[in-house]
C-alpha cells in the first residue's frame, strides 16, 4: 500500500490494523513533492514492493498528468482509492474533517428503517433476558463492596443526551467516591483517582453499565449504538466537530462500535475519532454488524475481567 498525501494522519493502531491486510505500507508526502517526483517515487515503490493499492490522501487537486498515470496503473493491476473509501473499507469509520466541504456522504447516514428497528428491539429483548440474572448478581455483590469501600448510594444517575437530542436519566452502578465532581464536570480518565478498588474493576470491565438495561427496556437506549454523552460535552463538541449532532438521529447504546475499536480516551480528539465509528455504524447497520459488536463486547469484558481478577 502507498499512502499519497497527508490529509488524514493514520495512528499507529490504524497502521497496525492495515498491516494485517497489506504487508508493506509506504507514505509519500504530496504536500512537499511535485507530481513528477511523486510518479517517480510511486514507480520505485511498485518495483521494490508488492504494492497493489494507492490511497489518495491529499487535499490538493491532482493534476491531469498524475490522474492519467494513476489510471494507467489500473491496467497493471494496481488500484487507487480515496482516503474516505479506505477508512470505511478497512478501518470501519467515516472520514470527517473540520475543513470538509463535501456533505454528500451524510445522505447515507439516516435513522433505522422500521424493519431495522424491529430487529434491534428483538436483539434488545433477548439481551435483557440473558443479562437479567448477571445484572442482579452484580447489584447484590456491588452493594456489599460499595458499602465496604465507599459508603453511599449504590446507583449513580446522570442525564445523558439521547435520540433527537432529548435528555434521559442514565443509571449505572456507582464506581466513584461521592462528590467526585465537587470541582465541576470532568472526563473520567484511565486509573482515575476518584474511583475506589471495586469501582475501578466494574468500570474497566463495564459491569457498571449493566444497569442501563433499564433504559433499554424503557426504549431510551439499545444494547448497541453510539454511547450517550452529557449535555455539557455535546454542546462543546458540536462547536468544533463537524456533523457531531448526526449521531443523535438514533438511540444510544450500552456498547458500540467505537467502544470496541477505539482505545479508552476523553476529550475533543477522542470524541472526533469515536464519531467516525458511530457514523459508520449508523450508515452500515445490519444484523450481522449488530451481533458482531455484541460478540466482541463479550470477549472484551471477559478479557478485562480475567486480567483484573488475576491482579486483584
**Predicted confidence band of residue 42 (pLDDT cuts 50, 70, 90):** very high
- Give the per-residue pLDDT at 101: 57
- Mean pLDDT along residues 180-189: 60
CA–CA dist 53, 148 (Å, integer): 58
- Give the per-residue pLDDT at 97: 77
**Predicted confidence band of residue 85 (pLDDT cuts 50, 70, 90):** very high
Of the listed ranges 38-42, 235-239, 267-271, the least confidently predicted one is 267-271
- Give the per-residue pLDDT at 310: 38
**Predicted confidence band of residue 309 (pLDDT cuts 50, 70, 90):** very low
- Is the confidence at residue 186, as pLDDT, over 80? no
Is pLDDT larger for residue 204 or for residue 280?
280
- Is the confidence at residue 4, as pLDDT, over 80? yes
- Give the per-residue pLDDT at 83: 93
Mean pLDDT of the chain: 88
* Beta-carbon contacts of residue 294 (< 8 Å; ≥ 6 apart): 123, 127, 223, 224, 255
CA–CA dist 252, 167 (Å, integer): 11
User: ∠259-264-265 over CA atoms, to 5°?
Assistant: 115
- Mean pLDDT along residues 96-121: 82
- Give the per-residue pLDDT at 222: 97
- Give the per-residue pLDDT at 62: 85
Supply 276's cell numbers.
467516525
| CA neighbor of 223 nearest in space, from 260, 182, 252, 192 | 252
CA–CA dist 86, 95 (Å, integer): 9
- Give the per-residue pLDDT at 179: 73
* Beta-carbon contacts of residue 282 (< 8 Å; ≥ 6 apart): 109, 110, 226, 246, 247, 249, 250
- Give the per-residue pLDDT at 188: 62
- Mean pLDDT along residues 219-238: 94
List, in sequence order, every residue forming a beta bridge with 163; answer none if it has no partner.
none
- Mean pLDDT along residues 13-36: 88
Give percent of the chain above pLDDT 90. 59
CA–CA dist 139, 167 (Å, integer): 25
- Give the per-residue pLDDT at 205: 83
- Is the confidence at residue 37, as pLDDT, over 50? yes
Residue-wise pLDDT for 262-291, tens only, equals 866 667 888 999 999 999 999 999 999 999
Amino acid at each position: 500500500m502507498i499512502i499519497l498525501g497527508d490529509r488524514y494522519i493514520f495512528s499507529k493502531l490504524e497502521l497496525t490494523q492495515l498491516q494485517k491486510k497489506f504487508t508493506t505500507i509506504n507514505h509519500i508526502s504530496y504536500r512537499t513533492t511535485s507530481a513528477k517526483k511523486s510518479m517517480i517515487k510511486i514507480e520505485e515503490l511498485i518495483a521494490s514492493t508488492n504494492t497493489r493499492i494507492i490511497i489518495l490522501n491529499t487535499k490538493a487537486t491532482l493534476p491531469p498528468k498524475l490522474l492519467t498515470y494513476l489510471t494507467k496503473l489500473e491496467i497493471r493491476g494496481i488500484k487507487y482509492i480515496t482516503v474516505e473509501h479506505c477508512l470505511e473499507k478497512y478501518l470501519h469509520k467515516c472520514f470527517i474533517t473540520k475543513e470538509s466541504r463535501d456533505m454528500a456522504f451524510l445522505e447515507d447516514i439516516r435513522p433505522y428503517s422500521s424493519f431495522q428497528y424491529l430487529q434491534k428491539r428483538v436483539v434488545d429483548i433477548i439481551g435483557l433476558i440473558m443479562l437479567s440474572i448477571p445484572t442482579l448478581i452484580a447489584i447484590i455483590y456491588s452493594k456489599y463492596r460499595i458499602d465496604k469501600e465507599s459508603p453511599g448510594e449504590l446507583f449513580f444517575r446522570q442525564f445523558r443526551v439521547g435520540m433527537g437530542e432529548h435528555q434521559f436519566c442514565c443509571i449505572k452502578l456507582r464506581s466513584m467516591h461521592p462528590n467526585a465532581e465537587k470541582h465541576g464536570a470532568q472526563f473520567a480518565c484511565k486509573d482515575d483517582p476518584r474511583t475506589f478498588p471495586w469501582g475501578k474493576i466494574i468500570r474497566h470491565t463495564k459491569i457498571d453499565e449493566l444497569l442501563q438495561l433499564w433504559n433499554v427496556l424503557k426504549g431510551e437506549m439499545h444494547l448497541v449504538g453510539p454511547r450517550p454523552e452529557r449535555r455539557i460535552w455535546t454542546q462543546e463538541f458540536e462547536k468544533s466537530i463537524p456533523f457531531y449532532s448526526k449521531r443523535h438521529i438514533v438511540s444510544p447504546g450500552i456498547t458500540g462500535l467505537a467502544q470496541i475499536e477505539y482505545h479508552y480516551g476523553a476529550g475533543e480528539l477522542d470524541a472526533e475519532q469515536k464519531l467516525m465509528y458511530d457514523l459508520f455504524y449508523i450508515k452500515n447497520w445490519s444484523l450481522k454488524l449488530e451481533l458482531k459488536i455484541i460478540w466482541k463486547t463479550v470477549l472484551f469484558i471477559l478479557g478485562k475481567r480475567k486480567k483484573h481478577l488475576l491482579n486483584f
